[in-house]
Amino acid sequence: MPTHRTHNSSAVPSQTAIETRGLTKRYGERRAIDGVDLRVPRGSAFGFLGPNGAGKTTMIRMLLGLTSSSDGSMSLLGHPVPADRAVALQRVGAIVEEPRFHMHLSGRENLRVVAAVRGPEARSRIVPALERVGLAERADEKVKRYSLGMRQRLGVARCLLADPLLLILDEPTNGLDPGGIQEFRWMIRAMVEQEGRTVFISSHLLDEVEKICDAAAIVDRGRVVTQGPIAELAGAGAREELILGVDDVDSALAVLAGTDTVLEAHASDGCIRVVLAFGPDTAAEVNALLVSEGVAVDRLEPVRHSLEQRFLEITSRIDDPTRQEVAA
Amino acid sequence: MNAETMVQMVGADLLKLRKKRGTLIWALVLAVGSQVVFFVVGALQHSSDPLHNAPVGGVNGLRHGLDLLCFFVGPLAAVLIGTEAGAGDSSAGVFRDLVVTGRSRLALFASRVPAALAMTVPLVTLGFAAMCAGIFLFAGSEPLPAVSTLAWCYAFALLANGLLCLVAVGLSSLLNSKPATITALIGWQLVLSPVIIGVSSLGATRELLLDAPLLHVDPVRAGHPEIAMSLIAVLVTVIAWPLVAATLGAWRTRTMDA
């Protein structure tokens, strides 16, 4: 269709790896995905964050053509999907939910099966892919003897057969031990920074996304609530806070109660937690005020706002104040 | 998609079948083991009581052996292979990983068909070879079949088992379930179909059954078909069964959520 072809320019590669507009998936009356506009820049690690049941896997399944969309449009690497799905997926590797294999075949044979479907050039990538994920020595063992972590790595190797410009990974660290998670993190960062690939990671593990990804979108109940660079997401709308260590907590609280620089102050675990009224630059003023009033300050630490805190604040499902306090 | 890729895909499907040892062993037991058991038991009966038990080999052995290979136990092997080829990817959860390569779903379905046939042909050949060994070894005073008759019987065995294998590929792709496909085909071919064939009041309607044209072209029953059919009716039924099953299987493979 002509409208689709206008997007399909191989001469000028699209700057976005994934783009959706008004993407919707309905199951009867229920909207699993509700008008999602998403833009994933090329050459980045992008997190797709959301609680269980938020619609992350449904979104991935639509992008990959595993299930049809009800409305809206989407493109992968500049190619409209599903119109140019075959071309779009040539350079896309994906793990949807847990990686599944023919258990009666070896790791190498499983890759041979997928390489045969991908085309002749994929066959030459089997050995490098196995080496890349550290499975070369156990490639000839049957997959039924692999641990879950090894299957995850074999799933990544299967993705690499496409020499992917875009990797779509659904909960990729499930089943990995701490060492495996760290290795996985390094591998993803190397793919992005050294090889220029784009990695789209769906996860409910906020800490992982914060450590691996450059940018993220937060999805809840089928809607993208916010998206952008991790630092912006974590800090957006957050209050400037300090933790103060002092020799006399009561005196310090009395001093802080009398200044406009401080919006709020309360004792917490032997320290004082302060909300600044006018931004981070006023932290020095607070310190000077306390010292001038005879209160010794031995600790002055800005509170770092984590993605987790931001996530808990904005996902409508989690509105229990005690949980927000714990997250903070 | 070029021919090289299709050949590779068929090779991959063949690899999956070849390495499925459980299925392969059962298929061998059904196709070859049944022949061995039939001829060995027949030979023992003949040696213990020659007056009441004729030699199990020769022309008589060919008729019974071919029935076993083409209508009773042999087709079960073809059904096992066809079902594994049709529903193996889905039941292993790998189908979606093949779909996300961008390869057409019809191509994914199409590669299963030659792979299943390529696995069925050697099984039938081994079963036929076992039958021939029994025919010659235990012929005793019975006349031996001509080589040309054996050649026709071999072709017939390939046809009967090949057809059922193709139906199994299509049906298992449609149902996406190995147990359901195996149960349905065994129930139909071994129980319902022979019963319906025997109900003469159904008349020409019985020509729609897959067994009807097979019985018609069975070399050892030549001239004595259970149902009189024209050559065109034979051809139409023989082509329609695998074609309809394959069309339904391809449709399901193309449209289902992976």
Chain B neighbors of A109, CB-CB under 8 A:
15, 19
Does residue A319 surpass a pLDDT of 50?
A: no
Closest CA to B145 of B57, B73, B204: B57
Contact flag B100-A116 (C-beta cutoff 8 Å):
no
Summarize pLDDT for B3-35 with one digit per residue, the tens: 889 999 999 999 999 999 999 999 999 999 999
Instruction: Please tell me the distance from the alpha carbon of residue A210 to that of residue A216, in angstroms, as a whole number.
Output: 9
Is residue B64 over pLDDT 60?
yes
Tell me the CB-side half-sphere exposure of residue B226, using CA atoms within 13 A.
Answer: 20
Structure tokens belonging to residue B255: 């449209």
A315: helix, strand or coil = coil
Q: Do A89 and B102 touch (CB under 8 A)?
A: yes
Of B88, B94, B102, the CB nearest to A88: B102
Query: Does residue A317 carry a pLDDT above 80?
Result: no
Lowest mean pLDDT among A79-83, A161-165, A315-319: A315-319
**pLDDT confidence of residue A9:** 41
Give which of B73, B232, B225 is closest to B164, Cα–Cα: B73
Mean pLDDT of B102-110: 95
Position A7 pLDDT exceeds 90? no
Asked if A277 and A260 touch (Cβ cutoff 8 Å), the reply is yes
Element (H, E) at B7: helix B3-18
**Closest residue, chain B, to A156 (C-alpha):** B97
Is the pLDDT reported for residue A2 higher than 80?
no
Mean pLDDT estimate for chain A: 85
> For the residues of B26-65, what is the DSSP string, one character each?
HHHIIIIIHHHHHHHHHHHHHHH-TTTS--SSHHHHHHHH
Tell which residue, B173, B3, B166, B160, has the closest CA to residue B90: B173
> What is residue B226's predicted lDDT score, i.e. its pLDDT?
67
Mean pLDDT of chain B: 93
pLDDT over 50 at A124, yes or no: yes
Express each pLDDT in B84-96 by its tens digit: 999 999 999 999 9
Interface test with B, best of A100, A117, A141 (most B CBs within 10 A): A117
Position B235 pLDDT exceeds 60: yes
pLDDT for the residue numbered B223: 52
ipTM of the complex: 0.89
Q: What is the mean pLDDT of residues B88-117?
A: 95
Interface touch B5/A114, C-beta < 8 Å: no
How distant is the Cα of A242 from the closest Cα of chain B, in angstroms?
Answer: 49
The length of chain B in residues reads 258
Nearest chain B residue to A142 by CA: give it: B19
**Chain A contact present for B12, CB below 8 A:** yes
DSSP character at residue A266? E
Residue of A78, A70, A59 whose CA lies nearest to A4: A78
User: Does A10 score more than 50 pLDDT?
Assistant: no
Q: What pLDDT, on the 0 to 100 scale, is given for residue A13? A: 60
A contacts of B19 (beta carbons < 8 Å): 102, 104-105, 109
Handedness of CA A309, A17, A22, A65 (dihedral sign): negative
The SS3 of residue B223 is coil
pLDDT in the model for residue A236: 59
Average pLDDT on B226-250 reads: 92
Cα B34 to chain centroid, rounded? 14
pLDDT in tens, A179-212: 888 888 999 999 999 999 999 999 888 888 888 9
Is the previous residue joined to A82 through a cis bond, with omega within 30 degrees of 0?
Answer: yes
Cα angle value B216/B147/B213 (rounded, 5°): 10
- Count of other CB atoms within 10 angstroms of residue A250: 10
Token digits of residue B200: 């003469």
Is residue B109 a contact partner of residue B173, using CB atoms and an 8 Å limit?
Answer: yes
Closest residue to B94, CB basis, from A65, A101, A112? A101
Give the model's confidence band at A318: pLDDT under 50 very low, under 70 low, under 90 confident, else very high: very low
| pLDDT-wise least confident of A52-56, A72-76, A167-171, B115-119 | A52-56
Does the pLDDT value for residue B120 go beyond 90?
Answer: yes
